[in-house]
Amino acid sequence: GHVLAPLRTGTMANTSSGRQDPPEDDRERARREKREGKRKVEYRAKRKKGATKEKSPELAETVEQDMDESVIPRPYGVQGRIRILRRMKFLPMRYPHGETLRELGIEEDVEDIFFQTELGEFMKLALPAYRHQAIQFLASLKVRRHPAAATADIKKDGPGFITFELSGAVHRLSIAELEGIYKLEEDVGSDTETCVPGTELIGLWGMISSRPYQTSANKSSHIRSPAIRYAHKAIAHSLFARHECANVTKQEFELIDISLEQKLQTLDNGEEMRGDLKRASKAWAILDSFKQCMRNAELAYEQGKIKDSYLAIGSLITPILLAINVPLPAPTHPPQFMDIAYLNKTWFLRGMHNGKHVYRFEHPTFGVSKILLPNKELTSHNTRAGITFLPTAHQLFMDGGDATVNEEQENDAGEPLESQASGQNDCDFIPYNASGSAPAIVKAHEHIRLLRKGFKKQAELIKKLTETVNVLKAKLSCTSPKAAETVEPALRRSRRKRRTGGSPPPTSFTHPIDLDETPTPPDNSP
């Protein structure tokens, strides 16, 4: 009743030591296993006896993830790239949530940031995703830029055009058409990057953040203002299609800089802000997101990490699918939103107190701090103080609860722990591997591990106590808190005219969409 496996064939080669090399097909299989990440998965599967690995709730959203492990030859053609993308987890995108913004009292400020960056209408395009069509689009996308001498083509198309294939048909769209499809500012220029001086970025980051400016280490959790922080997360999730947005990229912060320029006008050192958005097309930023997504997928495949990678860009492709009137099936992934439940899963909110939301941020003087939202007196961007957002000690909320971020067991879409952000912890070091050593050495290192664990806990308690004492001392030193308060002059209103007559965005094509919140997947990025 058993079926015998076919015998492997292959030439056996003798080595100088008399040992034989494995057959050629075994070596090929070993390369494939390394390429597809099979060995890595088997190693990670080891766990304590009796322990079970919980399946991520969001795996149900992956929809037909291809588990094929055959080798995809290079160079990758359209079909090869489709095979790569099909092996990734396909996830929904997140968009701003109006009701949440109103509940936190920051709706006007966040919408003004979107308006100043000309993303107000774009942020309303919260459309569902179509997995199969999105994968075809990404795998076949080609971006072409017109040479500077082609003035007639530039006048007609803008800086360039794109081509892509869907269901065997080749489509072409100009950059000017893309700007209209995504409801972006049209005819802004041919530049592919914004123009913001580096010194201006450093100066602004110092005004709104609790840490010095460092391109590779700027975190969303370092931004103090809840409105700026929320707006950044929305821009990262949508325009740049990043599923995890704990860090702040240079492109994202340039948009934040431009959004605040009209109200701030100058930095703290008196330097005039000169960020320029007028000559840069944000359609190029969207195309960069598409191309970067494909490059990351190819890299993940070549590193054997493709099964653990995810694709969260589908909703950004849907406006193009609708514009070319391609036949579409039922959506595979409805959009998700940055609502209260999402913010509580990250390090943004921590529950409620007396009907208000507890907002957490990092204060440059008092460390990890909290205030209650809504609190427009503190958060409104109508004053310079509201933008820089630096509450005094008596304005902070003290609940006697968590004073550090270390206690948070946050998920991947959230922001980094305080210990990770600072990069400094006297008790954090790599444990010594004493396996194979004498029993006495193994026992000694086990005792050291227990001592290290105790010292680490003690350090956390001392730090927490110190921060609490500092806050109490600051409160006691404020004999007349209101005397220190100053009335900030109202900042001038923007001269930019808002568009009127815009139609509300579609929320469904055939029937209402169930927008249940789904937890984010584990972070598998290196």
Considering 9-13, 311-315, 464-468, the range whose residues carry the highest mean pLDDT is 311-315
Range of the domain at 465: 434-479
- In this model, does residue 126 exceed pLDDT 70? yes
Q: Look at residue 355 and tell me whether its pLDDT is greater than 80.
A: yes
CB-CB contact of 212 with 293 (8 Å) = no
- Which has the higher per-residue pLDDT, 145 or 434? 145
For residues 145 and 270, what is the distance between their CA atoms, to the nearest angstrom?
39
Q: Are residues 206 and 312 in the same domain?
A: yes
Q: Is the pLDDT of residue 483 over 90?
A: no
Last residue of one domain, picked from the residues 302, 337, 372 = 337
**Domain boundary, last residue among 337, 361, 394:** 337
Q: Is the pLDDT of residue 224 over 80?
A: yes
In this structure, what token pair is assigned to residue 149?
């001498």
Q: Is residue 439 part of a domain?
A: yes
Domain assignment present for 521: no
Mean pLDDT, range 148-168, rounded to an integer: 90
As a whole number of angstroms, the distance between CA 250 and CA 236 comes to 11
Q: How many CA atoms lie within 13 A of 331 on its CB side?
A: 24
Whether 206 is in a domain gets the answer yes
Do 239 and 127 sit in the same domain of this protein?
Answer: yes
Q: In which band, very low, low, confident or very high, does the pLDDT at 434 lie, cut at 50, 70 and 90?
A: low
Quick check: is 52 in a domain?
no
Output the CA angle 6-11-15, nearest 5 degrees: 135
Q: What is the number of structural domains in the chain?
A: 2
Alpha carbon 135 to chain centroid, angstroms = 20
Q: Does 323 share its domain with 445?
A: no
Domain end position, chosen among 337, 355, 373: 337
The span from the CA of 280 to the CA of 296, in Å, is 25
Domain shared by 315 and 441, yes or no: no
Q: Read off the tokens for 179.
A: 């700007």
Would you say residue 146 lies in a domain? yes
Domain membership flag for residue 270 = yes
Residue 313 located in a structural domain: yes
> Considering only CA atoms, which of 412, 329, 290, 287 is closest in space to residue 128?
329
pLDDT at residue number 241: 86
The whole model's pTM is what?
0.67
Amino acid at 155: K
327 with 439, same domain? no
pLDDT by residue (tens digit) across 294-326? 999 999 999 999 988 988 898 999 999 999 999
Does residue 296 fall inside a structural domain? Answer: yes
